[in-house]
Amino acid sequence: MKRYLLALLISCVLFSCEDSENPNILEMPQEWSLIGYKSSWVADPPLIPITDSIYNYRLEKNGSFIKNLGIYRLTGTYEIDESTDDRTYISLIYDEASITLNEESGRNLIHYCGQNYEPFVVVDSKTISGSWGACDGPNFIFQRK
């Protein structure tokens, strides 16, 4: 009887395990879409949701990325940094054509404070956040598709 109970207990444990809910952040390709933003002017701000976003990123296996922002398409390369404070960071480094497009469009297509890259922090396997609070901008939240 004890064997049957033990076998039943082990079976329950084995069959109750699910696949990992945390896919590897380094697994490519990836697509990220804007789901909302938070104010950088308020302590613990609420998420202001955006449900019809035309703002997204696609990170490719070869180290390149594409940013779609409405009718605009920007490109470059990305770097992933897992070396500091138990967090993962993604830096999107824009190519010259994208930097020129940003300047000539008269719009803020690249969210930065004078550098040629956008920094993101990986919040969890399905969420990244890009804060432009240093430039008095919002904190954009993106969800993995």
pLDDT at 138: 87
Model confidence at 30, pLDDT cuts 50, 70, 90, reads: very high
Model confidence at 141, pLDDT cuts 50, 70, 90, reads: very high
Task: Give the CA angle between residues 64, 67, 70 to the nearest 5°.
Answer: 160
pLDDT at 42: 83
* Two structure tokens written together for 121: 């922090």
Locus of tokens 């470059």: 76
pLDDT at 142: 95
pLDDT at 66: 98
Bridge partners (DSSP) listed for residue 77: 64, 93
Amino acid at 101: L
Model confidence at 25, pLDDT cuts 50, 70, 90, reads: low
Mean pLDDT of the region 85-105: 92
Question: Which domains are present in the chain?
Answer: 27-144 (2.40.128)
pTM of the model: 0.78
At residue 14, does pLDDT exceed 80?
Answer: no
Mean pLDDT of the region 57-85: 94
Task: Give the CA angle between residues 120, 123, 124 to the nearest 5°.
Answer: 125
pLDDT at 83: 80
Rounded CA gap, 42 and 45, in Å? Answer: 5
SS3 label, residue 124: strand
